[in-house]
A and B are shown apart, each in its own frame.
Chain A
Amino acid sequence: DAGVIQSPRHEVTEMGQEVTLRCKPISGHDYLFWYRQTMMRGLELLIYFNNNVPIDDSGMPEDRFSAKMPNASFSTLKIQPSEPRDSAVYFCASRATADLGNQPQHFGDGTRLSIL
C-alpha cells in the first residue's frame, strides 16, 4: 500500500513568495495532521483535520499560514507571504479512526522548505 505522499520533497524560494505544500493521505484514513519540525522547536502540530474538516488549528503560527482539505485524498498547507523563519521540514501524517487512542499516525517523508 502507498504511504502518505508529500510534494515537493524540497522547496527553495525567496522570502515574500507563496509556498504550497501538498499531501495525499493513506486511502481510508480520515484524520490528517500537519507538523513542522525545526532544530529549535522540535516537532510541532500545526493543524489537523477529521473527515476533511479542520478540528484544531491552534498550532498555526500566524495568519500567513493556511491549510485546506478539499477532499479525503488531498490537503494543502500554504504560506503567504513566506519568511526565512518558516524554513523547516513540514510533515503530513494520517490516521484511521478505529480505536482512537491506539491508532498510530503514519508520516510522509516531509517537505524540506528553505526560505532565502
Chain B
Amino acid sequence: GDSVTQMEGPVTLSEEAFLTINCTYTATGYPSLFWYVQYPGEGLQLLLKATKADDKGSNKGFEATYRKETTSFHLEKGSVQVSDSAVYFCALSDHGNTDKLIFGTGTRLQVFP
C-alpha cells in the first residue's frame, strides 16, 4: 500500500541555519503531497502542498518540490528561526482513495538562538 517515510528526528539547528527534512513516498499513480506542521499543544496545520510532478509548494519561506523520479518531497528552508521549532509531517493523498491522507511519523525540529 501507499506509504510515507520521513527522516528520524529530532533535527537540531542554530538560528539562520539551512533546513532539510527528507520525505520519500511509495504510491501507485500520482498522489498529491503535503507538508503539515504541528506546534506544541496544537493541531496540525497545512504548510504547503504539491499536486503533480515538478510542482513546488512554498509558504513562510519553506519549499518542497514534488520529484516523481526519486519519489521524494523534501522540505527546505534557507534560514530557520526559533519560531519554526515544531513537528513536521509529510503526507500523501491515497490515490486509491483520495478521501484519506497517509502521514509520515513526523520529524521534530528544534531551533536554538
**Known contacts A101-B31, A102-B32, A108 near B43 by CB under 8 Å:** yes
Q: Note all chain A residues with C-beta closer than 8 A to B32.
A: 101-102
Q: Name B43's contact: one of A4, A42, A55 (CB within 8 Å).
A: A4
CB pair A48 B99 closer than 8 Å: yes
Chain B binding surface, main DSSP class: loop
CB pair A100 B99 closer than 8 Å: yes
Is A34 close to B, CB under 8 A? no
- How many chain B residues touch the partner (CB < 8 A)? 23
Within the assembled complex, what's the spacing in Å between the Cα atoms of A102 and B31? 9
CB pair B43 A107 closer than 8 Å: yes
Query: Could you list 24 examples of A-B contacts with CB < 8 Å?
Result: A42-B103, A42-B106, A43-B44, A43-B89, A45-B100, A48-B99, A48-B100, A56-B97, A56-B100, A91-B44, A93-B43, A93-B44, A101-B51, A101-B93, A101-B95, A102-B32, A105-B44, A105-B101, A106-B46, A107-B43, A107-B44, A107-B45, A109-B42, A109-B43
Is A104 close to B, CB under 8 A? yes
Interface residues on A, range: 20 to 34
Q: A56-B100, A101-B98 given. 16 additional CB < 8 A pairs?
A: A42-B103, A42-B105, A43-B44, A43-B89, A43-B106, A45-B101, A56-B99, A100-B98, A102-B49, A102-B93, A104-B46, A105-B44, A106-B46, A109-B42, A109-B43, A110-B42
CB pair A50 B89 closer than 8 Å: no
Q: Note all chain A residues with C-beta closer than 8 A to B93.
A: 100-102
Task: Name B's A-contacting residues (CB within 8 A).
Answer: 31-32, 34, 36, 41-46, 49, 51, 89, 93, 95, 97-101, 103, 105-106
Task: Name A's B-contacting residues (CB within 8 A).
Answer: 4, 31, 42-43, 45, 48, 50, 55-56, 91, 93, 100-102, 104-110
Within the assembled complex, what's the spacing in Å between the Cα atoms of A102 and B33? 8
Tell me how many residue pairs across A and B have CB atoms closer than 8 Å. Answer: 52
Q: Note all chain A residues with C-beta closer than 8 A to B36.
A: 107
CB pair B41 A109 closer than 8 Å: yes
Q: Note all chain B residues with C-beta closer than 8 A to A48.
A: 99-100
